[in-house]
Structure 1
Amino acid sequence: MQATATESAVQTRSSGRAKGRFNKFRQYRMLFLMLVPGFIFLLVFNYAPMYGLVLAFKDFRITSGILDSPWVGMKHFNKVFDDPHFYVVLKNTILISVYKLIFGFPAPIAFALLLNEMRRPLFRKWVQTVSYLPHFISWIVLAGIFTTLFSLDGPVNALVKAFGHAPVVFMADERYFRSILVGTSVFQSFGWSSIIFLAAIAGVDPQLHEAAIMDGAGRFRRMIQITLPMLAPVISIMLILSMGTILDAGFDQIFNMYNAQVYGVADVIDTYVYRLGLINADYSYSTAVGMFKSVVALILLLSVNRLVKAVGGSDHTLW
């Protein structure tokens, strides 16, 4: 009799939880509906194509299709690690990505902090708008603009000649090309990336600033000792997400800006996969290279998330 009563109580609690979840779903049904387009996008463009990863373990033949192509095991991965050019490509990818992280990650944080200190609303909005604009310009257009700026007859070389030096073919010189990539990437992204930090700054309790003002703290000191520490959780999460894309050196930018003269310093995994897969039609090998990149990115993401969690606690991590 007691066991029956216990089972009945458990069923009642389970039913109550299910009913509570259903009521909550009904309450927020419009918000769930807003998630549907994003979910469909991820399903179609991110998850469905993962079926093609089996090509990395097959000798793909167009006439046979994916299913009927013969399995070859780790053949293409062995080929990847035996290819000396792959290590050049991997080195370029890591260097460009690390440079972009070092110079590009702090830029939107610093910009958001400085923008928050502006006291003229109209001027602040104007600066914000101008900083966002490059994000909405295609890299095809931006590459044309930067190629013109750094051309032999462009304004940059005009300045070089004004100081008595010979003009430089910047876009075809390996000594300068990586710096141009990093600088133009920061220019294109820092304004848009600052939005999330500005939103986090807006959530800082104003009473903290009022108390600091009463203690005699100036604007710079309040920015360093109040605003910046309050941004720590957001900064940590954004850093974790950035580490997940550390091997994404920026295909759109590099593809539209590089040329054969700078392959030695600018050829990255994405452009390498593009040439192998779409130009040389070596689909299985290019899939193996792309899969290697994805696995490394996943390992980095999990490792950095775990490290940040151990140092700063779960408030500073994704999960």
Structure 2
Amino acid sequence: MRAVVVSGPGPADVLRVEDVPEPSLGPTDLLVQVSAAGVNRADLLQREGHYPPPPGAPSWPGLEVSGVVTALGDSVGGTWRVGDRVAALLAGGGYAERVTVRADLCLRVPDDTPLEDAAALPEAVATVWSNLRAAHLAPGETLLVHGGSGGVGSVAVQLAHALGTRVVATAGGPDRTRRVAELGADVALDHREGDLVGRVRAATDHRGADVVLDVLGAGALADNLRLLADGGRLVVIGLQQGRRAEIDLGLLLARRASVIGTTLRSRPHHQKAAIVDGVARHVWPLVAEGRVRPVVHARLPLAEAAQAHRLMESGEVFGKVLLVP
């Protein structure tokens, strides 16, 4: 089959379509003919040599796909059938024509959701759901989403809104903030304008946010602590602005605040399966109702994976970029 391989660490041009061995079907696996694969920032890090796949995962990128089940492992129960439409969370290998994936990491695509578009959801919904749970976000609280126009941020805004949370989100530029507001943000702020801390605090009646969902990392740490309400929780899920920073422990103590850091890809299988089960029970019904929907910026052929990565690096993507075999 064809897959996008990384010829060596480097810029987007190191991505090449090559023939690779067919995936091996394990007893608890589904074999999926891929309709689309989501492109994530983790894929860019892997291409650059900073985020190697975990043991046992294919060497080529891709953390989420949608497609059609074409075969079942011997131990797969009666829930799944050949021909089912699925979206799947992967440890790697999604940039390909076919994948095998453990059945308990798959979600059935609702009838009204376009199959290709569903590839934009598994990684984002699993990330958002697991982190909002880790932060114990409750209805009526205020969530601040940094990067509300991103692949994870666009889902976080929709899901938090659907769960009864007041959502403040940031994005770059008036058009992007308008679109983030249309997704459900109660307040959408242009991070390019000055004094973001002051504007967020003003938008929260100077309380601050109960939970901050942050993809920026070190560069935003000091401001994020100042943005927390008493008892607030900062959840760091990305390191776009670095991984090392000093922390004001006095401020952390004074706010009775918490800093939480999580990853998804490197979790053991049983933890990821539990997250997907929670998504299936609590988030996926909202997808079926159209209250949480995939936001797709562009669809590119598998052979244009390098262009998809360059598009992600441009900072112009709103939602997700998909690769279509």
State the TM-score, normalizing by the size of structure 2. 0.24
Greater helix share, 1 or 2? 1
Q: Greater CA radius of gyration, 1 or 2?
A: 1
Whose relative contact order is higher, 1 or 2, with alpha carbons under 8 Å and at least 6 apart? 1
Higher strand share: 2
Length-normalised TM-score, structure 1 = 0.24
